[in-house]
Amino acid sequence: MDIHSDSYKIAALSDRKDAVEVIRQAEEAIARMTGNTAVTLIAYEKTDGPAIN
């Protein structure tokens, strides 16, 4: 997968264990609901780049 955006970047959450845990739990819940065990959620944060219209 190759995702590009001038307006967002992948959020650095390594020092936010609580946020990482919430994402992990959401991945597990989605995997259970869909039967797809390969669920990965990606957190983005807004940058000062141009807006996407």
Distances (CA, A) of 11 to 15, 29, 45, 48: 11, 21, 5, 14
- Give pLDDT, residue 7: 83
35 burial (CB, 10 Å; 0-12 / 13-18 / 19+) is exposed
Residue pair 31/39 in contact by the 8 Å Cβ criterion: yes
- Give pLDDT, residue 19: 93
Domain boundaries, the chain: 9-46
Distance CA 42, CA 47 (A): 16
Q: Tokens 């390594």 correspond to what residue?
A: 14
pLDDT in tens, 13-45: 888 999 999 999 999 999 999 999 899 999 988
